[in-house]
Amino acid sequence: MTDRFMPHAWLQCLLVTVLVMPFTSGMAAEAGKNRDRDAMQAEMKAILADPARTADASASGAERGAICAYCHGSDGISKKGWLPNLAGQSAEFILDQNLAYAVGDRVNNVMNDLAASMTDAELINLSVYYAVQAPERIEPELTGKDLTVGENFYKGTCTRCHGEDGRGKKGYTWIAGQKQEYVRRALARYRDREGGRMDEEMAEVTANITDQLIDNLAAYIATLH
């Protein structure tokens, strides 16, 4: 009797395995991806308050972020002028942007896939890693640029969020130590509402600025350290 029904039992087990595997693997793939911004920011804040945990998170972030080095450099200094530096950036800002990529609130084919593949912990560790790296000291390209015009616009418009020194107030990006060409392109994208990055405040600020003013502003920002 046992031998007679064994083949059926074996087939049932095989069928269950085949049917369940896709669901369980899908569940495993989503493990650790709650994408709760407040919880993630709170966890990262706790990590940054503890030097030992910061060191551990940074080491894990460096390992997981090796794939990011192709564009952003192993130390967070980007390989191309039109790609942003991440070294020395606000950890809170980096995490917010990576989370936005992960859930599709910011659109970039490469970044969307990379961020979505990472767990919450990996996104936190990556943010910590880049935040503790030394920012780049930019050598600005000043030919044909009017720094006085750029400075006047910056101090009259940008300091409320980005600070006098470009290091950003709470939750805002550091633009000190940022690539000049990247800043120029980012400002133009905000003005033109292009590039998959919508921010109503930045769109309003840049709505009427000319290409020349963008060049002057990006040059001035490049002098901030």
pLDDT by residue (tens digit) across 184-222?
A: 999 999 999 886 666 788 989 999 999 999 999 999 999
Q: Is the pLDDT reported for residue 11 higher than 70? A: no
Q: What is the pLDDT of residue 196?
A: 67
**Same domain (yes/no): 43, 122:** yes
Cβ-based neighbours of 52, under 8 Å, separated by 6 or more = none
Q: Is the pLDDT reported for residue 95 higher than 50? A: yes
Q: What is the pLDDT of residue 79?
A: 86
- Please give the average per-residue pLDDT across 56-65, as a whole number: 96
Q: Is the pLDDT reported for residue 60 higher than 60? A: yes
**Same domain (yes/no): 126, 156:** no
Average pLDDT, the chain: 86
- Of 75, 50, 49, 71, the C-alpha closest to 61 is 75
Q: Is the pLDDT reported for residue 148 higher than 90? A: yes
Q: What is the pLDDT of residue 114?
A: 95
Q: What is the pLDDT of residue 197?
A: 65
Q: Is the pLDDT reported for residue 21 higher than 70? A: no
Higher pLDDT residue, 109 or 4?
Answer: 109
Domain that holds residue 87: 37-131
The model's confidence at residue 172, banded by pLDDT at 50, 70 and 90, is confident
Give me the phi and psi of 104, to 5 degrees please.
Answer: 90, 10
- Please give the average per-residue pLDDT across 73-92, as a whole number: 93
**Same domain (yes/no): 118, 163:** no
Asked whether residue 64 is domain-assigned, the answer is yes
- Of 140, 148, 128, 145, the C-alpha closest to 175 is 140
> pTM of the entire structure?
0.80
Q: What is the tally of structural domains in the chain?
A: 2
Contact 223, 147 (CB under 8 A): yes
Q: Is the pLDDT reported for residue 68 higher than 60? A: yes
Q: Is the pLDDT reported for residue 144 higher than 80? A: yes
Of 131, 156, 186, at which residue does a domain stop? 131
Q: What is the pLDDT of residue 198?
A: 67
Q: Is the pLDDT reported for residue 2 higher than 80? A: no
**Same domain (yes/no): 111, 192:** no
Alpha-carbon distance values, 208 to 60, 204, 220 (Å): 43, 8, 19
**Same domain (yes/no): 117, 154:** no
d(C-alpha 173, C-alpha 166), whole Å: 8
Contact 209, 187 (CB under 8 A): yes
The model's confidence at residue 145, banded by pLDDT at 50, 70 and 90, is very high
**Same domain (yes/no): 127, 151:** no
Q: What is the pLDDT of residue 117?
A: 95
Higher pLDDT residue, 5 or 160?
Answer: 160
- For residue 82, the domain's CATH number is 1.10.760.10
Asked whether residue 29 is domain-assigned, the answer is no
- Angle, helices 51-64/37-48, rounded to nearest 10 degrees: 120
